């Protein structure tokens, strides 16, 4: 597949661990039940990319290390820049502390929290502190598929794209994904125009619908195909469109929420097609998280 990767710039951005936050009060689930459980932020030791996105006693939990630039002002231009330049598949390096020099991989953007998620091996996670800093080689924004100008690519390292086994056939791109998500299940984040940052959620209040469409086994890092959703210039329903994304945070108890999806590819026309494969997970593709090479 021809791309413009030779014209892309690689730019450094640097962040730190985002301290976990909590109100200390109960929230109310989509079933009307009060809950008070862990959520976003911090260093998550026992939840990693490749693990199930369901079944944890959490809400919006993020695998690995949750990072940002400025905890006091998540919407500052500098924090937005950190969020924008870091792409899924980028190399991240620890530049402070006992784990200095260790390398990890960016696995997703989480909107609202404005976090960049990074996977490191277990021995590195044990050495990290909340004061550590991470240098990311931001590479991927501006990526184009030269023979498919109607396909928009966001947040995707070209090296990861080349490993995704996309098949070109009759003017279409057939992309390996774990599952097809029907358009009516997409919720929180619809309407956002910040395509180079953030995510949006697969709603999970209707468990029967999840079972019907084979979504109850989703894992962090799974690539999914969102039917009839166009993310070209904002997140919206458009008949015949399609988007490819990666699962980046866990199921959620709040109405309108569920596993988060960072968008990697999208097209308003019927060019993107799904190939169902249980191996379509970035942890497997990049040999990180639960599938890292020992």
Give the pLDDT confidence score for residue 73 in this predicted structure.
Answer: 84
Query: What domains, with CATH codes, occur in the chain?
Result: 5-138 (2.40.10.170), 151-291 (2.102.30.10)
Structure tokens at 37: 């459980």
Number of other CB atoms surrounding residue 56 within 10 Å: 16
Contact 158/140 with Cβ under 8 angstroms? Answer: yes
Give the pLDDT confidence score for residue 228 in this predicted structure.
Answer: 98
User: pLDDT (tens digit, 0 to 9) for every residue of the chain, 294 residues total?
Assistant: 999 999 999 999 999 999 998 888 999 999 999 999 999 999 999 999 999 999 999 999 999 999 999 888 888 999 999 999 999 999 999 999 999 999 999 999 999 999 999 999 999 999 999 999 999 999 999 999 999 999 999 999 999 999 999 999 999 999 999 999 999 999 999 999 999 999 999 999 999 999 999 999 999 999 999 999 999 999 999 999 999 999 999 999 999 999 999 999 999 999 999 999 999 999 999 999 999 976
What is the pairing mode between strands 167-169 and 34-35? unpaired
- Candidates 245, 282, 276; CA nearest to 260 is 245
Give the pLDDT confidence score for residue 184 in this predicted structure.
Answer: 98
Assign 3-class secondary structure to the chain.
CCECHHHCCCEEEEEEECCCCCCCCCEECCCCCEECCCCCCCEECCCCCCCECCCCCCCCCCCEEEEECCCCCCCCHHHHHHHHHCCECCEEEECCCCCCCCEEEEEEEECCCCEEEEECCHHHHCCCCCCCEEEEEECCCCCCECCCCCEEECCECHHHHCCCCCEEECCEEEEEECEEECHHHECCCCCCCCCCCCCEEECCCCHHHHHHCCCCCCECCEEEEEEEEECCCCCEEEEEEEEEEEEEECCCCCCCCCCEEEEEEEECCCCEEEEECCCCEHHHHHCCHHHCCC
Residues 6+ apart with CB under 8 A from 209: 182, 185
Give the pLDDT confidence score for residue 294 in this predicted structure.
Answer: 60
Number of other CB atoms surrounding residue 228 within 10 Å: 17
Give the pLDDT confidence score for residue 74 in this predicted structure.
Answer: 85
Which residue's structure tokens are 């084979």?
214
């Amino acid at each position: 597949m021809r791309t413009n990767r030779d014209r892309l710039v690689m730019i450094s951005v640097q962040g730190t661990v985002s301290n976990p936050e909590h109100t200390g009060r109960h929230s109310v689930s989509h079933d009307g039940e009060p809950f008070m459980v862990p959520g976003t932020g911090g260093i998550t030791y026992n939840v990693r990319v490749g693990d199930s996105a369901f079944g944890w006693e959490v809400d919006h939990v993020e695998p690995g290390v949750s990072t940002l630039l400025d905890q006091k002002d998540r919407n500052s231009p500098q924090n937005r820049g950190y969020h924008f330049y870091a792409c899924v598949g980028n190399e991240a390096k620890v530049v402070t502390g006992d784990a200095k020099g260790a390398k990890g991989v960016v696995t997703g953007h989480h909107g609202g929290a404005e976090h960049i998620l990074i996977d490191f091996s277990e021995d590195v996670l044990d050495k990290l502190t909340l004061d550590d800093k991470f240098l990311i080689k931001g590479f991927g924004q501006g990526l184009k598929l030269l023979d498919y100008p109607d396909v928009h690519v966001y947040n995707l390292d070209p090296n990861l794209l080349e490993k995704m086994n996309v098949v070109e056939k009759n003017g279409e791109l057939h992309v390996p994904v774990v599952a097809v998500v029907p358009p009516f299940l997409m919720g929180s984040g619809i309407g956002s125009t910040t395509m180079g940052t953030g995510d949006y959620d697969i709603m999970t209040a209707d468990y029967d619908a999840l079972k019907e469409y084979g979504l109850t086994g989703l894992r962090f890092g799974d690539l999914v195909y969102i039917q009839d959703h166009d993310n070209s210039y904002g997140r919206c329903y458009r008949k015949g469109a399609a988007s490819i994304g990666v699962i980046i945070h866990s199921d959620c108890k709040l109405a309108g929420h569920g596993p988060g999806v960072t968008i990697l590819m999208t097209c308003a026309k019927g060019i993107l097609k799904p190939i169902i494969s249980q191996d379509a997970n970035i942890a497997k593709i990049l040999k990180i998280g639960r599938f890292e090479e020992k």
